[in-house]
Amino acid sequence: MRVSPTSARRAVAAGLPAHPPASTCARLLRGCAGQAAVELVALLPLVVGVALAILQALAAGVAVELAGHAAQSGAIAIAEGRDGEAAARAALPGWMRSRLHVEVDRTRVRVRVMPPSLLPGAGTRLAASASADAGADR
């Protein structure tokens, strides 16, 4: 903003500064150079931690669903006269079969599935269990 010499003299005569002060925004921006970068770097560990927690919760939810599905499949197989443990294992995707523990007791199938873990020890703490019964003894 340009100030004419006449208006500058009038401002000085009125006790005002000859040049208008810089806008508040401009003063704030000059003092905050790099602030956004610093805040991003400071919050990055928090964002990563929240993302890992969400992914771990999703993995635990998948384990719960797959455990119930495997137990039901095993019980149906027993009711049809087939091997319940093999049916429970076959009901899971290949990447999850190594995390499966199956117990068959007559007509009852108990399944325990450990979800994939991003943090050491979290998988065992978040393991999902399910059981299903085929009914009366066959």
> How buried is 87 (Cβ within 10 angstroms: 0-12 exposed, 13-18 middle, 19+ buried)?
buried
Whole-number pLDDT of residue 121: 81
- pLDDT at 23 exceeding the cut of 80: no
What is the model's pLDDT at position 135?
A: 84
pLDDT tens, position by position, 71-102: 999 999 999 999 999 999 999 999 888 999 99
Contact at 8 Å (CB) between 74 and 106?
A: no
Which amino acid, residue 100?
L
Q: What is the pTM of this model?
A: 0.66
Q: Which tens digits make up the pLDDT trace of 36-78?
A: 888 888 999 999 999 999 999 999 999 999 999 999 999 999 9
Strand order from edge to edge, sheet including 100-105: 100-105, 108-113, 128-133
Q: What is the DSSP letter of 18?
A: S
**pLDDT value, residue 22:** 58
Query: What is the rounded average pLDDT for all residues in the chain?
Result: 84
Element (H, E) at 124: helix 122-125
